[in-house]
Structure 1
Amino acid sequence: MKSSITRIATTTLALILSYSLNPVFAVPQTSHQSVTVAQAKKAADNLIIPGERVGFVTRKTTKQDLVKLYGKSRLIDKTISGPEGIGSFAATQVNLGKERSFLVVWSDKTRTKPLDVRDLGSAWKTPEGLATGTPLSELRKKLGDFKLSGLGWDYGGAIFLETSRLSRYQGKIFFSVDAASNAYEKYPNDYQAVSGDQTLSASNPHWKPLGIHISQIIVVLNPEQ
């Protein structure tokens, strides 16, 4: 019989896989007023509210809103692949410099309903201060002794929020971690010990020398049944 942690880990990885293909998370719906250009010029707002917004981008933001907010010249439309190369999704890259850029993934080709915001620069932070680049040591302070998947596969480094102090964000935001670029060469034994399709504790000593940090944040805005 699987342990409760194993069951949680298996469920989380299944949800991550199904999210881009057929999102199933239930996030409470709230109303938001339209964002104006004047509001956008305040742009010191680099706050992520999981399930609600990334700065001025909310679940009601359209491609045309992005044009008004940031200017057409800063936007690049593209198509991205789903997990394991299955399916494809319309997306819009918002180029605001290395630290503030992000990618909006849309529910369909009309680009009128965002599924999520991802590829966030390091300026974007949750209320707890979590951002791309946040090191494992800081993650443990914020999340406790959480669980995560092994490195080096399609869902490598996925954090299981269900077992953390931020379990209230489950289904509203995804965090993934990765090692420093030279970690495998410098610490091959440690790297291999935390690689592959397995569930590990954040306190596992093999993580320590690898320079583990948040490498991807996905903020869910419009989960669909």
Structure 2
Amino acid sequence: MHSPPPPNIDTFAGVLRQTRLAAIVRGSDPDAALRTVLTLAEEGVALVEVSLNTTDALGVIRRASAEVGPGTVVGAGTVLTEGDVSRVQEAGAGWIVTPALTEAVAASVRAGLPVLAGALTPTEAVAARRAGADAVKLFPASLGGPAYLKALRDPFPDMPFVPVGGVDLAGAERYLAHGAVAVGVGSPLVGDAAHGGDLTALRERARRFVALCAREAQEEA
């Protein structure tokens, strides 16, 4: 087990570009969800999102934020309202993820929290950036796949897209090859760990994803 050094990058978008991976934890067992976050951190995942759909999500965020090393930042996902933003910030979340363009985007900007804002269409992606989003969560990415990201990148070559939704290891490689700054990965990485499942299997999956993303980042550098 190890605790990775903190990414030497000043901006949230820079951390995404350097690490290429955001893990998404969503589970029914708070203790298992906490163990999942800590295991991902130990395996070198720098950005770990705890979805508010997780049982006792605020408690998990609070405990995880206090226990992870400096190499990992715990964020909050499925953030919808201004009240959600206040609650997760109080719990210690260091970044915000929204599934759509909700009031939480502007609230996160006002709170000084980096935000990955959910969008699917070109209009929504532009609106997300104009609202102050640090990057655009392309969701659900599975609807159009890597080919859709490639099509979006033609008119928006500098848009920081992070595909989320059904992204497995092979899909992550394709999305990154098509210009995604990072990928957001839930069940293909986390599996059943946040419900009390096997942490050894989680470690093995995490190592594969971290190795792939590190390789992709090095190739672009």
Taking structure 2 as the reference length, what is the TM-score of the superposition? Answer: 0.27
Work out which of the two has the higher radius of gyration on C-alpha atoms and give 1 or 2: 1
Higher strand share: 1
Larger helix percent: 2
Structure-1-length-normalised TM-score? 0.27
